[in-house]
Amino acid sequence: MSTADRLIESTRELLWERGYVGTSPKAILERAGAGQGSMYHHFRGKPDLALAAIRRTAEEMRATAAGVLDGPGTPYERIEAYLRRERDVLRGCPVGRLTMDPDVIASDELRAPVDETLDWLRERLAGIVEEGKEQGRFAAGFDGESIAATIVATVQGGYVLARASGSPAAFDAAVRGLLSLLAPHETTPAP
């Protein structure tokens, strides 16, 4: 791995663990095993390096989500696979956690990859919900954008609740609840 890649990976980890303010250039260099001048050789400074790290984190999240959402199965099964995919629930979402970082949110440049990723995820999920409606697998009254926003909110909120309780049980309960609301229900004719 190149020095630039080690710096980006170290910054990604530190942003996830400590946030932007808590991620010092010294900590980045120590974690990357890089010399003092290497950050400024490859990047204009901490904001430039943080942007590269946030972009890489966002790209990785989109690729992971796409791998599940574009997979086989009915629309419900693909949403279920996304919700139940393996996650480090107690660490939280590396992209979602950036939304709670005031320095990231205050910077249009740093916030852009976060916004773009969450927008992409909502759009992709909305498309799957609409696909399910067209196939008659979801209720005709479902609004794809609203359901997609609910899915993203459930995942992000589930991370927060799990971290607060120190247990993934809260995340798992939120996922089970949402899936029960989305599950296709067969109606039996009245006798």
62: three-class secondary structure by DSSP? helix
Question: pTM to 2 decimals?
Answer: 0.90
* DSSP state for residue 101 in the 8-state scheme: -
Q: What is the pLDDT of residue 74?
A: 96
d(CA 152, CA 155): 5
The pLDDT of 123-142, averaged and rounded, is 95
Instruction: Band the pLDDT of 185: cuts 50, 70, 90.
Output: low
Joined together, the tokens standing for residue 102 give: 């005031």
Q: What is the pLDDT of residue 169?
A: 97
d(CA 120, CA 128): 12
d(CA 188, CA 24): 61
Q: What is the pLDDT of residue 37?
A: 87
Q: What is the pLDDT of residue 188?
A: 47
Residue 191 has pLDDT above 90, yes or no: no
User: What's the pLDDT tens digit per position in 68-117?
Assistant: 999 999 999 999 999 999 999 999 999 998 998 999 999 999 999 999 99
- The pair phi, psi for residue 28, each rounded to 5°, is -60, -50
Residue 131 has pLDDT above 90, yes or no: yes
The full DSSP string for 103-128 is HHHH-HHHHHHHHHHHHHHHHHHHHH
Of 179, 149, 158, 4, nearest to 77 by C-alpha is 179
User: What's the pLDDT tens digit per position in 15-39?
Assistant: 999 989 999 999 999 999 998 888 8
The pLDDT of 127-152, averaged and rounded, is 95
As a whole-number percent, the residues of the chain with pLDDT over 70 amount to 96
Does residue 10 contact residue 38 with C-beta atoms inside 8 Å? no
